[in-house]
A and B are shown apart, each in its own frame.
Chain A
Amino acid sequence: MTCWELKKAGVDVTLIADNAVATVMADRMVNKVIVGSDRNCANGDFANKIGTYQIAVLAREFGIPFYVLTQPSSKIRSGKDIPIEMRDEKEILIYQGKRVFASGVKGLYPGFDVVPHDYISKAVPINVN
């Protein structure tokens, strides 16, 4: 979906796997990181799709600015107060009705990460209306 939207907006897109994020950062192919947020806390912590936390840690490690688009809220005090949805393990183990891992293998699928506010270079408030 993001690929489609970016291409529609005229952005030159190159797809990478989640496990290639660090190598493109280390090779200086990334000059900024922009992520969204699903939940925002009063102290600046936020929750976003799974994978966001490790990207934030890597951005810090490689000195890359990390920007988050937020919908500011004070309803939740900090990231510790955000419950994380654990999705069905079938989403990891089954693809198009076929099991892709042997019987007896378990899967773990947390849907979201919580990112502490100290990893954020700048929070950019957005108006979704």
Chain B
Amino acid sequence: MSEEKKREGEKKKEEKLSRFIVSAPPHLRGPEDVSRIMLLVILALLPVTVEAVAMFGIFAVQTILLCIISSVVTEAVIQKIRGLPITIDDYSAVLTGLLLALCLPPKVPFWIPIIGGIVAIGLGKQVFGGLGFNIFNPALVGRAFLLMSWANHLTGDWYKTVRVDAVSGATPLFVAKQLRAGLVNVDLSQFYKPLLLANPYGSMGEVSALLITLGGLFLIVMGIIDWKIPAGYIGTTFLLSWLLGGDPIFYILAGGMLFGAFYMATDYVTTPITGKGRLFFGIGCGLVTVLIRFYSNFPEAVTYSILFMNACTPLIDIYIKPKKFGAVVK
């Protein structure tokens, strides 16, 4: 009896001990976590996604869903093979899939988004070790791969099959390129309104510059993305296009410029960590974009400019460090 009591007493003592968790400070944690951040970015992308679906219908739905499913499945399969915890519930793969879909045209063969998702997550992210370790923006890796492999499916005349009122096969940027070459004579300002509100040419993420900007501002206000990257990117593009004799407003609205500036160039993992470094990153993106748009054979440049600056990120982080508090010469 007494022994039983003793044991009970010990048990109680143990229970009392294990009531307390001991860990290092701080003992309070902020409201932010990774999945919440990813969900907020997805939320910011919803208006654009909805407009794309409204404009292109079932084709858009198919492409978006296939991209997301392919990305998420690839992530889960690779993590399973590597014996790691499966972290698809952090929504980062969902976001990659959605971003990839939005930089594809609405109607592509069904295997394009599937391969895109596999490459984006597999080659863009998981080979480096997963979330936090990749050097290049996964969605852009997927897009660049598809663009180089099946350019005809990404830039071809897919739109003729979905839009009866499509009269020209040229995206606004292609028109601008022809204008610079002196092949056509058009006023680029006629594109302002469609580019802002409902642009049928190009990728799904280019349907409305207005919705993209609103989503981007939402993320800035919520403290999810740093304003310095889009500001540097857009500002530089505006200034350089203008200096080089282009129509600066057109060059900002057209193509994947705004989509890239707000959603791709602001990817945490692949961009510098300091405020100054981010501004520098944005300026670099703008510089490369304008150079490619004006002096190369490609009409569009956002993908490659961001990937190029992704490669420069470690270098920027080494050279740009914040000034320490009290770091004065004694």
Question: Are A and B interaction partners?
Answer: no
Chain B residues at the A interface, C-beta cutoff of 8 Å: none
